[in-house]
């Protein structure tokens, strides 16, 4: 049965909405003294990684759904190749690899341009969308790998010359810090907002 790309976006937004509910609960526990800063750091580490697991799942399901014809879209998407099953397409792309990385987003664009005319709908993201995704991936890598290389990329591309207080110069501290005060919004909430917008753009 054919599904719709907009439904994929709706499911993604619902899933990360559930993560937001849990995040608010954890922040409340911290405020009330029921957990400590170490607990909240560990929580945000897992939270941010889960956020991008869900986003890459969206990219994966949209890509293979459009390629196989199992997903329909109102966007002007044209396959360059005839419809092929998701399993066959996945096996072709996995040759020599254990899994598919959809991020950095350039990975997604390279595949899309091979299988879809003009790489649609993945090429609908503007330069600002793509730049933001690149920044978010630097944060993810610093959390996931914690290597000197990943941390140095985080410092260079995210912290840079900004005059942030020491507590906001780590990945979790940066995410929990305020992006703006009126209305109040943390940088983590900004990432969530951006990913929601991106999902709606590519899913039509």
Residue 30 lies in a domain: yes
Cis peptide before 104 (omega within 30 of 0): yes
Confirm whether 169 is domain-assigned.
Answer: no
- Report the alpha-carbon distance of residue 118 to residue 54 in Å, rounded: 25
Query: Is 184 within the bounds of a domain?
Result: no
The rounded mean pLDDT for the chain is 95
- Burial of residue 32 (number of CB atoms within 10 Å: 0-12, 13-18, 19+): exposed
Number of domains composing the chain: 1
Do residues 79 and 116 touch, judged by C-beta distance below 8 A?
yes
CB 131 within 8 Å of CB 92: no
What is the structure's pLDDT at 158? 97
Contacts of 189 (CB under 8 A, 6+ apart): 179
pLDDT digits (tens, 9 = 90+) for 51-108: 999 999 999 999 999 999 999 999 999 999 888 888 888 888 888 788 899 999 999 9
The pLDDT of residue 89 is: 87
Task: With CA atoms as reference, report the closest residue to 172 among 198, 193, 146, 197.
Answer: 146
In a domain, 100, yes or no: yes
Sheet strands (E) in the chain: 3-4, 71-72, 178-181, 184-186
Q: Are 121 and 203 in contact (CB under 8 A)?
A: yes
The answer to whether residue 173 is domain-embedded is: no
195 in a structural domain? yes
Residues of the chain with pLDDT under 50: none
Question: What's the pLDDT at 107?
Answer: 96
The residues, any chain, with a CB within 8 Å of residue 23's CB and separated by 6 or more, are 43, 47, 188
Backbone Cα Rg of the chain: 18
Print the domain residue range for 98: 3-133+189-203
d(CA 186, CA 188): 5
pTM recorded for the entire structure: 0.94
User: How buried is 96 (Cβ within 10 angstroms: 0-12 exposed, 13-18 middle, 19+ buried)?
Assistant: exposed
Q: What is the pLDDT of residue 97?
A: 81
Structure tokens at 174: 């940066």
Note whether residue 28 is domain-resident: yes
């Amino acid at each position: 049965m054919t599904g719709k790309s907009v439904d994929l976006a709706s499911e993604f937004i619902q899933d990360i909405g559930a993560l937001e509910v849990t995040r608010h609960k954890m922040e409340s526990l911290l405020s009330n003294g029921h957990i400590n800063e170490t607990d909240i750091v560990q929580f945000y580490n897992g939270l941010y990684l889960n956020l991008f697991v869900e986003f890459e799942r969206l990219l994966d399901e949209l890509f293979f759904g459009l390629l196989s014809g199992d997903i329909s879209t109102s966007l002007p998407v044209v396959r360059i190749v005839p419809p092929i099953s998701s399993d066959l397409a996945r096996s072709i792309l996995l040759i020599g690899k254990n899994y598919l990385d959809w991020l950095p987003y350039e990975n997604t664009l390279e595949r899309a341009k091979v299988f879809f005319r003009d790489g649609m709908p993945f090429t609908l993201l503007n330069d600002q969308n793509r730049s933001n995704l690149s920044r978010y991936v630097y944060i993810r890598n610093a959390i996931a790998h914690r290597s000197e290389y990943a941390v140095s990329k985080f410092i260079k591309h995210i912290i840079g010359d900004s005059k942030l207080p020491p507590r906001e110069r780590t990945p979790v501290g940066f995410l929990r810090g305020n992006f703006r005060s009126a209305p109040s919004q943390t940088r983590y909430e900004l990432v969530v907002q951006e990913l929601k917008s991106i999902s709606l753009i590519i899913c039509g």
